[in-house]
Amino acid sequence: MFCWQCEQTSKGQACTVLSVCGKDETTAVLQDLLIHAVKGISKYAHKARQLGFKDNSIDVFVTEALFTTVTNVNFDPLRMQNWLIRAGKTMDKAKKLYENARLSGNLPIEDFNGATKWKPAPDINGLLAQGREVSIETRKQRFGDDICGLQELLLYGVKGTAAYAEHARILGKESDEVYAFFHEALDYLTNENPTVDELFRLCMKCGEMNLKTMEMLSMAHVSTYGAPVPTKVRTTPVKGKAILVSGHDMKDLEELLKQTEGKGINVYTHGEMLPAHGYPKLKAYKHLVGNYGGAWQDQKDEFAAFPGAILMTTNCIQEPQPSYRHRIFTSGLVAWPGVQHISNRDFTPVIEAALKEPGFTQDEPAQYTMTGFGHDAVLGVADKVIDAVKNGDIKRFFLIGGCDGAKPGRNYYTELAQSLPKDCVILTLACGKYRFNKLDFGTTEAGLPRFMDIGQCNDAYSAIRIAQALANAFNCSVNDLPLSLVLSWYEQKAVAILLTLLYLGIKNIRIGPSLPAFISPNVLKVLVENFNLKPITTPEKDLAEILGTSA
């Protein structure tokens, strides 16, 4: 195996024996093969679209297949094998779509090579042999580090965008333009003679499409659950039976809340589900009582201590421990061998498991954190924010957020947040906030909170809206605002967000705790020269440079 798509890849280079995330070689190789198959499917779909022919079922399959290969989603070789069987059928459908498109215009049918020729082998051993033939290592040897690295940067950006597109589709929002881009990008990844310039162009286009996708997802959330409002969220348990919901999927949470209403079960969010408490239609459920625990990488200890049932939605699952394996469930695209999977959002097994467990036997002393500072909420007090900046009450905004992780070095973000002067405001999003979101940062002289949780990783759209509104108010570019972006990354959704920020021309972004292994020194040089992208160093040194003070 060879996997380097996440920040915690082994030795900062690649996982070659067992992935740090827990993915075994079989699953990793099958995922490589699924991506290869999706490239062939998209070549047919892209060529058909150019002639006005498309098929939504193909679009959705490609989107879901991309998402299922994102880090910490699908660890089940059997489910991966089923995905490959479906991929073979979808390849046939896409080929037929392309042929019909050509025949409708009396055009000759081209015979493509490469990924379009793939058909699933009849057994697991055959599939593994196919997967090894299309590994990243084979492309590194063929194209070199620069081209291969840019191919992976594009692929991971597309994977991240596909994850957000799938979240939006679940809530009834789709974009034909975004689907078309997926096929265009994946088609180019089959190119026998790729160029640096074209790959870089497509990476920037990926940033553009991800922005559109995040906007679409934001609209889906708001139209379904209402615009987020600043909300105090309890972070300590209350007495009673309990279910813990982790991941990102608001639809799963909503359906679970409906099915548990009146059953005497309290529902808690975990990880990236914390922002659910800011949505009016979700917070209206009285048995949505609080948030339990912190970021995804702490789940083994936190889930073991949680006295109820656990539901994992979308990504972020780790290997379930024996102490809670019998009471953890997966849904959507998430899968782990031997863990019961919930289909069609019928959460009866989760509810039954929760009723069998003891639950919390007493209320713990109440503690709280805040969430719900989406762009509507922040821009609703924009006049106060602008006045505070003009009066000098706020000297600088720091967007400190992104994916959290277990690798050493992430305490940097806690120390940075704690070191900020009182005239600085922290904006945050994604699970990186768990490094500091339970600290008391107080308020500015103008009474504005110094800590504002914007939401999930996909709520980077809200952060962008806030930054653009401030830039308009001060008649300057985002790069000229008193705003510093200090980001942590872990998986492919973070890559998509970074490409969006680069597409928007935002410079001087600090990123860490380490740089992507798949970005070669030459590609990194281009990013530094064009965008002044910077790796983090120490909180003291970076803060001194940002504020223009001596270290």
Q: Where are the domains of the chain?
A: 10-224, 231-356, 375-547
Query: DSSP per residue over 10-56, as a string?
Result: GGGT-BSSS-TTS--HHHHHHHHHHHHHHHHHHHHHHHHHTTT---H
Is 22 in a helix, a strand, or coil? coil
- Collect the ranges in the chain with pLDDT lower than 50: 551
Same CATH fold, 375-547 and 231-356?
yes
For residue 492, which of 132, 114, 11, 166 has the smallest C-alpha distance? Answer: 166
Provide the CA 2 distance to its chain's centre, in angstroms. Answer: 22
Cα distance from N-terminal residue to C-terminal residue, the chain = 44
| Residue 320 per-residue DSSP state | P
- Structure token pair of residue 211: 């922005």
Provide the CA 55 distance to its chain's centre, in angstroms. Answer: 26
Distance CA 325, CA 75 (A): 15
For residue 364, which of 403, 306, 310 has the smallest C-alpha distance? Answer: 306
The reported pLDDT for the residue numbered 550 is: 63
Return the ∠ at Cα 40 (arms to 35 and 42), rounded to 5°: 90
Per DSSP, what are the bridge partners of residue 396? 424
Pick the CATH number of 375-547 from 3.40.50.2030, 3.90.228.20, 3.40.50.300, 3.40.228.10: 3.40.50.2030
CATH C-level class of 10-224: mainly alpha
Return the ∠ at Cα 361 (arms to 356 and 362), rounded to 5°: 150
The reported pLDDT for the residue numbered 458 is: 85
For residue 129, which of 2, 32, 24 has the smallest C-alpha distance? Answer: 32
Distance CA 318, CA 491 (A): 14
Structure confidence by residue, pLDDT tens digits, 193-249: 999 999 999 999 999 999 999 999 999 999 999 999 999 999 999 999 999 999 999
Distance CA 155, CA 152 (A): 5
Whether 485 and 508 have beta carbons less than 8 Å apart is answered as: yes
CATH C-level class of 231-356: alpha beta
**462 φ, ψ to 5°?**
-65, -40
Structure confidence by residue, pLDDT tens digits, 128-166: 999 999 999 999 999 999 999 999 999 999 999 999 999
- Structure token pair of residue 286: 């009285």
